[in-house]
């Protein structure tokens, strides 16, 4: 960092990818170690794996829905009532599966956020509420006057950043 508190620019030769600052690597490593030591780690990994599976199943169902369009319009063009009704049944099944997958994905995402936030608040609470910590925080800056509110805001912000898909 320079004297203004801004991070110094990372210089790289033309055509090279600049390396992240050492502080980033250390912070990322610390976060990984904290996650690995967390009692919620196994549950988070299982939720994440199921969420990835649901997203892949949703993609497959969307592909099936796109493939369904051709037989549906073929039945309409041919004025085939039996084919049309059959394709409506196929659509109902695909739409039902997509609905269940979307609801499941939302539930898994919210459960992942809740589990992550529960572990994060537990760890932050232990760090922020150590003896004399609240007093020292309130004396250090205005941000430390309400550590419980700050803890809640920090936990919510990190959880949202971690679980929100781009």
pLDDT in tens, 28-78: 787 788 888 888 889 999 999 999 999 999 999 999 999 999 999 899 999
Task: Please give the Cα distance from 91 to 86 (Å, whole number).
Answer: 9
24 in a structural domain: no
**Statement: residue 7 has pLDDT above 60:** no
1 in a structural domain: no
Does this model's pTM top 0.85? My answer is no
Write down the pLDDT at residue 31. Answer: 78
- Per residue in 126-155, pLDDT (tens digit) is 777 778 777 777 777 776 677 777 777 878
Is-contact 91 110, C-beta < 8 A? no
**Statement: residue 94 has pLDDT above 70:** yes
156 in a structural domain: yes
Q: Which two tokens stand for residue 16?
A: 């090279």
Task: Please give the Cα distance from 165 to 10 (Å, whole number).
Answer: 28
145 in a structural domain: yes
Our count of domains for the chain comes to: 1
9 in a structural domain: no
Q: What angle do CA 43, 47, 49 make, to 5 degrees?
A: 115
2 in a structural domain: no
138 in a structural domain: yes
Structural domain range at position 62: 40-163
């Amino acid at each position: 960092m320079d004297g203004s508190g801004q991070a110094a620019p990372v210089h790289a030769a033309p055509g090279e990818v600049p390396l992240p600052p050492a502080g980033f690597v250390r912070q990322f490593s610390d976060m990984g170690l904290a996650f690995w030591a967390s009692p919620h780690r196994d549950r988070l990994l299982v939720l994440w794996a199921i969420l990835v599976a649901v997203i892949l199943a949703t993609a497959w169902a969307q592909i099936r829905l796109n493939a369904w369009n051709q037989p549906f319009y073929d039945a309409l063009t041919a004025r085939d009532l039996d084919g049309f009704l059959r394709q409506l049944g196929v659509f109902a099944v695909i739409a039902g599966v997509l609905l269940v997958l979307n609801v499941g994905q939302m539930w898994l995402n919210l459960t992942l956020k809740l589990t992550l936030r529960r572990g994060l608040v537990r760890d932050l609470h232990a760090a922020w509420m150590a003896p004399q910590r609240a007093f020292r925080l309130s004396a250090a800056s205005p941000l430390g006057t309400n550590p419980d509110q700050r803890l809640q805001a920090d936990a919510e912000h990190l959880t949202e950043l971690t679980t929100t898909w781009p």
